[in-house]
Amino acid sequence: MPARMPSSRAALTFVLLSVFIDSLGFGIIIPSLPSVIMQLTGEPVNTAADWGGYLMAVYALLQFFMAPIFGNLSDRFGRRPLLLLSLFAFGVDFLLTGLAKSMTWLFLGRAFAGVFGASYPPRLRTSATSAMTTTARRTSVSSELPGVPVSL
């Protein structure tokens, strides 16, 4: 029987796995978005690319404005509930994107993901670094980790 993983290592594994799933989903949605938009609108690829840019702008703006709110919520309720909530929200976004019948549904899905995606950068840094034990190691991990799950 394999040895049980220490809780800090299990927490770090869970955080990295969740960020990898987020990044993988985002990497699947971005390349397929123009063809989905062309099917929904009947517009050519250059117009679909414009719509895709608007969708990404909505996502980024909501993520930017919601980050301080998610920081306060994580201080109040803890990181784990917000992590699970954001993973659920990304699943809802992927469903909305896959089942979209209009551009409105795509915008709603990206807005929903943008709101809950605000927990993405802080989640990676704080959860991963707090799982480490020594202060010196925390500093090292905090500067190295953001690119790891994205590069996988």
Q: Domains of the chain (ranges plus CATH)?
A: 7-146 (1.20.1250.20)
Whether the pTM exceeds 0.85: the reply is no
The whole-number pLDDT of residue 10 equals 76
pLDDT score at 127: 55
- pLDDT value at position 147? 52
Which amino acid type is present at position 59?
Answer: Y
pLDDT (tens digit per residue) in 75-134: 888 877 887 888 888 888 888 888 889 999 999 988 988 888 877 655 555 555 555 545
